[in-house]
Structure 1
Amino acid sequence: MRGKSLLAIGYPSLDYMIKVSDSVTFGQTTLIENDDNQCPNYGGCGVNIAYLVAQFSHKTGVAMRVGNDFQKTGYEKFLKDGQVNLEEVQQIKSVPTSSTRLIMNEAGDHITLFYPGAMESKFHQATSFDHLSEFDYGVVTVCEPQYGQAFVNQCIKEKHPLIFSMKADFTSMPVAYIDQVMQHSELIFMNEVEYSLLNDKLPQPVKAYLNNPITQGIIVTQGGQGSYIYTKQEEIIIPAVKQVAVVDTAGGGDAYIAGFLHGYFSGKDLSVCGEYGSVLSAFIIEKIGCLSNVPTLEQFTERHQKNYN
């Protein structure tokens, strides 16, 4: 392992992709077109980031609650084989792991159905993250609110650096919680829609969080239009990767963060970090499944050089 390390929290998810040709309407039968609709893809925002960063030989771990199917679905083995530390994983034996049904039409539009399972709030118990000190950063993604708050509180109390991945889910992430996390995050990631929403909802404009001594960068992704990196000194524009054969955009944002963090943990300039984020995201969205098209280091390097050198 090399460079910095991270412990990520968030909902785990067994993702089931369901492809349909017609619009889904209540009272009407819609045929499922893909044969693999009952084969799960492993995901969840925190898992996606931790797994992808680990593939670049950085130490990562996940903190989450899983259900009684964690082993039999192959989820546990997948993460272990990917060198993701599982010491902060709690198992609830009475219910399954949280899961997502992604219903996608031919235009690529999604309906997302989420089952919280073991991450439902009723399973929350007093939580101490005993292995937090073994990691350099705590990565905050969308999570059961009490669990997320416990993690953030411990990180702040122990002066443990945070990295924040925004999600426009104001039930799991109330505005006061978002404000607290952003005040204590070294890096903050969001997309352009979330950026606009937060400028309306937060007690101060998003860029104003750069005025605190902790926050070093706010990164706003814009899909095919690239991304912006705002720092205390400058604004960096990162062009998007060219010639991307988009199949499924799910997981693209998490992949951008993972690529960025690979660069950041390796001591790269922020502009290169943004390029790394764009390259890794391009690979992931070219196949169904948030972790189905992970490149080798050679493939990653070649595509980066082709687009940015």
Structure 2
Amino acid sequence: MKQPRITVIGSINMDLVTETPRVPTIGETVLGTGFSTLPGGKGANQAVACARLGAQVTMVGCVGDDGFGAELVQRLQEENVNVDYVEPITHASTGIASIVVENGDNSIIVVPGANHAVTPEKVQQAEEAIKQADVVLLQLEIPLPAVAEAVRIAGKYGVPVVLNPAPAIALPAELLAGVAVVTPNEYELAIMLNRNPEQTEDFHELLQMYSGVIMMTKGGDGAYYKQQDGSVVHQPGFQVNVVDTTGAGDTCNAALAVMIGRGADMAAAVRYAVAASALSVTKFGAQGGMPTEQEVEQFLGQIKE
């Protein structure tokens, strides 16, 4: 099977996870029950997932000149991700996500830090990596001008772009026009199209509003994808024992990009992506649960059509 070349341009964070029986009120101190530091950031997560699924991956992003930055770069290298375009930024802190877990519910504060230093100029420095890629994979945890520049350069060389529009913002039509496949969840789809997700139309109507190719993820229900001819197809989810859903979306996006890089059609690519996502929730941690190519192939081989 072809080893696709994927260039991921995006965020690199350290997740600081505190577990507590309850969140303290202002001025109060409570005793927590656990603490861990886990590599994260949508960009880095998707890069790791692509590498485990058999792709040749180049990561483009920024970290701080601190201990977290050095550790995250080392983690990416250990996952066989090329970090030639990951730049340590002097006098900047590495991006972090402070996550408080209270009885399974998350409260998250994200401090972008060095991720804000991913500028259009930084993206231009990685033009060769974009040119050589089979797919460019993007998210929105770096500044939008950098995302737009990546889309522009990829278009210059005819490289397809997969855009995961998270965190959700309304996106310019000219940016979306340069994207091969956009991959929102239902909430992100409404925001992306500048609609109120609380007062939105049925998601089928939203899918029809978007003129391009789209894969909308829907948790345990799998995914719905719209093709160029306007038809919408449902890929059902796969039943698994859920341990931790963190990173499922990143795994799904990575798997889709890998399959597009291999030349698969949307039906095969989405089915593979939903299967990889299902496997990812059977283990703890965003990157910890990401499956290998062999695991996904074995899983799909056991499913009766």
Which category of TM-score, normalised to the shorter sequence, fits these structures?
A: 0.7 to 0.9
Paired AA for residue 43 in structure 2: G
The CA distance in 1 between the partners of 2:31 and 2:20, in whole Å, is 6
Shift of residue 157, structure 1, vs aligned partner: 4.2
Partner of residue 185, structure 1: 179
SS in 2 for 1:74: helix
Q: Could you give the per-residue CA deviations for residues 78-117 of structure 1, whole angstroms, max 9, x where no partner exists?
A: 21121211122221121221111111221x2211111122
The CA distance in 2 between the partners of 1:91 and 1:253, in whole Å, is 27
Aligned pair partner of 2:109 in 105, 108, 113: 113
Partner of residue 74, structure 2: 77
Partner of residue 261, structure 1: 257
Paired AA for residue 137 in structure 1: V
SS in 1 for 2:184: strand
The CA distance in 1 between the partners of 2:135 and 2:262, in whole Å, is 14
Report the CA distance shift for 1:44/1:168 in structure 2 as closer, same or farther (over 3 A).
closer
Q: Could you give the per-residue CA deviations for residues 243-296 of structure 1, whole angstroms, max 9, x where no partner exists?
A: 33232x221111111222233333334223222212222232233321102334
The CA distance in 1 between the partners of 2:54 and 2:240, in whole Å, is 28
- In 2, are the aligned partners of 1:219 and 1:229 still within 8 Å (CA)? yes
Aligned pair partner of 2:298 in 298, 302, 308: 302
Shift of residue 32, structure 1, vs aligned partner: 1.8
- In 2, are the aligned partners of 1:252 and 1:284 still within 8 Å (CA)? yes
Q: Which runs of 5+ in 2 are unaligned?
A: 197-204
**Percent of pairs identical after alignment?**
20
Paired AA for residue 134 in structure 1: Q
TM-score normalised according to structure 1 size: 0.84
- In 2, are the aligned partners of 1:10 and 1:144 still within 8 Å (CA)? no
Paired AA for residue 69 in structure 1: D
SS in 2 for 1:190: coil
Which is worse superposed, 11-20 or 282-291? 282-291
- In 2, are the aligned partners of 1:257 and 1:277 still within 8 Å (CA)? yes
The CA distance in 2 between the partners of 1:259 and 1:72, in whole Å, is 26
SS in 1 for 2:189: helix
- In 1, are the aligned partners of 2:14 and 2:68 still within 8 Å (CA)? no
The CA distance in 1 between the partners of 2:67 and 2:257, in whole Å, is 27
Partner of residue 195, structure 1: 189
Partner of residue 56, structure 1: 53
**Paired residues, what number?**
292
SS in 1 for 2:65: coil
Q: How does 1:97-176 map to 2 (within 5 A)?
A: 97-106=94-103, 108-120=104-116, 124=119, 126-127=121-122, 128=124, 129-131=126-128, 132-142=130-140, 143-170=142-169, 175-176=171-172
4+ residue segments displaced more than 4 Å:
70-73
Report the CA distance shift for 1:267/1:308 in structure 2 as closer, same or farther (over 3 A).
farther
Which is worse superposed, 138-147 or 186-195? 138-147
Paired AA for residue 152 in structure 1: V
The CA distance in 2 between the partners of 1:12 and 1:259, in whole Å, is 19
The CA distance in 2 between the partners of 1:80 and 1:208, in whole Å, is 41
The CA distance in 2 between the partners of 1:163 and 1:144, in whole Å, is 17
1:251 to 2:250 alignment: no
Report the CA distance shift for 1:299/1:154 in structure 2 as closer, same or farther (over 3 A).
closer
The CA distance in 2 between the partners of 1:158 and 1:297, in whole Å, is 28
1:218 to 2:219 alignment: no
The CA distance in 1 between the partners of 2:264 and 2:100, in whole Å, is 38
- In 1, are the aligned partners of 2:12 and 2:63 still within 8 Å (CA)? yes
Shift of residue 2, structure 1, vs aligned partner: 3.0
Shift of residue 221, structure 1, vs aligned partner: 0.8
SS in 2 for 1:104: strand
SS in 1 for 2:127: coil
Paired AA for residue 113 in structure 1: I
